Amino acid sequence: MKTLKSFLLSLLLLASAPLMAADKLTIAAAADLKFAMEEIVAAFRQAHPAETVETIYGSSGKFHTQIQQGAPFDLYFSADIKYPQMLAQEGLAASAVKPYAFGRIVLWSQSRDASKMTLADLADPSIRKIAIANPKHAPYGKRAEEALRSASLWDKLQDRLVLGENIAQTAQFVQTGNADIGIIALALALNQELASKGGYALIDDKLHQPLEQGFIVTKRAADNALAKQFADYMGSAEARRVMVKYGFVLPGETLGK
């Protein structure tokens, strides 16, 4: 009986341990941040070796809905600043909405050299499948649609488009060769593994609305000191260096080339 009691007690302690350790951080980040955020988190961890930082990547729209429904995310990095703004209006943010970067879209292919291609080259009939993120809810997909519309290609290419659930899946469609070419985030195209295969070409950002990205500390993390520290860390020289390395244009710097 006594052993059972102490067993149950230790179970209880085990179960409550995560609650007591407040310094745990869960970050929900848009899929385009996959590689950049990993480096930033690794650098942040050096200064905070004892803390746990977990990062979950996915589509910005999905995270928005999940946070509305009480998902346990402390920081939310969206590829479209509109989503955190909506959460802030609903009182679900514990910080101001902070713009952290502008994203860029690129043409990227594995099977052909995309580095000298322009959008107009997509009309080439030998290109059978073109991957973009779903414009209905993925920020990069919306900008891809706008760019294709500005280039008067949207209607013409309709039956060759395949839609990724988020920008990472879009890149994966191209990487597996199932799509001949794709419009993906520059941040992903600059990742070593993708960059080593095939080239990319920047798409003129005058063809689409700016991809302004923003983050918030969520309401549930209002008392989480680590969340505040990470939010501040995003403004550090090291974090900015990583963001620039992955092709993001930082707020306050000139948009464009």
Residues that bind other proteins (CB under 8 A): 59, 61-62, 64-65, 111, 128-129, 131, 134, 136-137, 161-165, 173, 176-179
CB of 133 to other proteins, least distance (A): 10
CB of 94 to other proteins, least distance (A): 22
Q: Given the complex with other proteins, which of 52 and 65 has the nearer CB atom? A: 65
**Closest residue by Cα to residue 36 from 232, 164, 220, 168:** 168
- Buried b or exposed e, range 213-243, using 16+ CB within 10 angstroms: bbbbbbbbbeebebbbebbebbeeeebbebb
CB of 134 to other proteins, least distance (A): 6
- Pseudo-torsion of CA 244, 248, 250, 256, nearest 10°? 110
Q: Given the complex with other proteins, which of 158 and 192 has the nearer CB atom? A: 158
Cβ atoms of 214 and 169 closer than 8 Å: no
Q: Given the complex with other proteins, which of 159 and 223 has the nearer CB atom? A: 159
Q: Given the complex with other proteins, which of 59 and 224 has the nearer CB atom? A: 59
Cβ atoms of 72 and 146 closer than 8 Å: no
Q: Given the complex with other proteins, which of 121 and 165 has the nearer CB atom? A: 165
Beta bridge partners of 48: none
CB of 165 to other proteins, least distance (A): 6
Q: Rounded CA gap, 230 and 223, in Å?
A: 13
CB of 161 to other proteins, least distance (A): 7
Q: Given the complex with other proteins, which of 166 and 224 has the nearer CB atom? A: 166
- DSSP state letters, 157-224: HGGGEEEESSHHHHHHHHHTTSSSEEEEEHHHHTSHHHHTSS-EEEPPGGGS--EEEEEEEBGGGTT-
Q: Given the complex with other proteins, which of 151 and 174 has the nearer CB atom? A: 174
> In the numeric block, which tokens belong to residue 240?
């900015």
CB of 137 to other proteins, least distance (A): 4
CB of 126 to other proteins, least distance (A): 12
SS3 category, 153: coil
